[in-house]
């Protein structure tokens, strides 16, 4: 059986964070509090510096509590069409489409929320999406995360579980990512690819002879 090619999303396929695009639109629509304007830059900075901690997820996303799933999904579609679609690296989209034309299976593996990146997955026509999932009760968001956020080691665990269920060996697969946070998964596949890597991942990729792709 052929392998599977996995792709991170933010800063790998897109120039900007899918979550920040969504939150910015939600604030403009009055759905989320403007105080997030203060919080978002801090999250973004700590993430890019490689010092973001999983405890940032401990309380989930309480500001989404009570919002209907249908409204969040509608907003995610608007966010994709108005912003995130234009953030896509053309070379990355071309790579995904060439792989699919060659009969490869493509799966997105991201710590972003699933409903936010679902329109992107549909646009690219990928074969699967593994992402962080929010809890919904009676169609409304509770603000809590289902299980563990798909971040760092959890991303590796989720992908390896997926491969086991599909009967595919990790050594037959590739993973494309920009982030040092994804090192556990990059080390677990046969073909790790550093895409627009952050400084720490770039150093490791060079030292280990991994493929490096710089997209603009």
SS3 33: coil
SS3 196: coil
Homologous superfamily of 4-213: HAD superfamily/HAD-like (3.40.50.1000)
Instruction: Let me know if 29 is exposed, middle or buried by CB neighbors in 10 A (0-12, 13-18, 19+).
Output: exposed
pLDDT, residue 60, reads 78
pTM for the structure as a whole: 0.90
pLDDT, residue 48, reads 59
Q: Are 15 and 83 in contact (CB under 8 A)?
A: no
Beta-bridged to residue 14, according to DSSP, are: 10, 88
Output the CA torsion sign for 179, 112, 150, 34.
positive
CA–CA separation, 92 vs 213, rounded Å?
10
The H-assigned helical ranges of the chain are 18-28, 36-48, 69-79, 85-87, 90-101, 114-124, 153-166, 183-186, 199-208
CB neighbour burial string for 102-137, b if at least 16 within 10 angstroms, e if fewer: eebbbbbbbbbbbbbbbbbbeebebeebbbbebebe
The H-assigned helical ranges of 102-139 are 114-124
What tens-digit pLDDT sequence spans the chain (216 residues)? Answer: 589 999 999 999 999 999 989 988 998 898 876 666 555 555 555 555 555 555 555 567 888 999 999 999 999 999 999 999 999 999 999 999 999 999 999 999 999 999 999 999 999 999 999 999 999 999 999 999 999 889 889 999 999 999 999 999 999 999 999 999 999 999 999 999 999 999 999 999 999 999 999 987
> What does the pLDDT look like over 26-76, one tens digit per residue?
988 988 766 665 555 555 555 555 555 555 555 678 889 999 999 999 999
Domain definitions of the chain by residue range: 4-213
């Amino acid at each position: 059986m052929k392998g599977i090619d996995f792709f991170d999303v933010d800063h790998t396929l897109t120039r900007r964070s899918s979550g920040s695009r969504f939150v910015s639109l939600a604030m403009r629509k009055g759905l989320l509090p403007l105080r997030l304007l203060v919080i978002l830059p801090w999250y973004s900075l700590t993430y890019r510096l490689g010092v973001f901690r999983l405890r940032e997820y401990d309380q989930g996303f309480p500001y989404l509590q009570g919002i209907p799933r249908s409204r969040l999904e509608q907003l995610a579609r608007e966010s994709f069409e108005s912003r995130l679609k234009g953030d896509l690296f053309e070379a990355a989209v071309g790579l995904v489409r060439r792989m699919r034309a060659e009969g490869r299976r493509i799966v997105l593996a991201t710590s972003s929320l699933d409903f936010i990146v679902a329109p992107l997955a549909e646009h690219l026509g990928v074969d699967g999406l593994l992402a962080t999932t929010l809890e919904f009760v009676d169609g409304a968001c509770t603000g809590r995360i289902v299980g563990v956020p798909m971040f760092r080691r959890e991303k590796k665990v989720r992908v390896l579980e997926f491969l086991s269920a599909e009967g595919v060996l990790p050594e037959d697969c590739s993973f494309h990512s920009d982030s040092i946070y994804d090192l556990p998964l990059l080390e677990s596949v046969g073909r790790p690819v550093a895409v627009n890597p952050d400084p720490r991942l770039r150093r490791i990729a060079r030292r280990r002879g991994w493929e490096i792709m710089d997209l603009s």
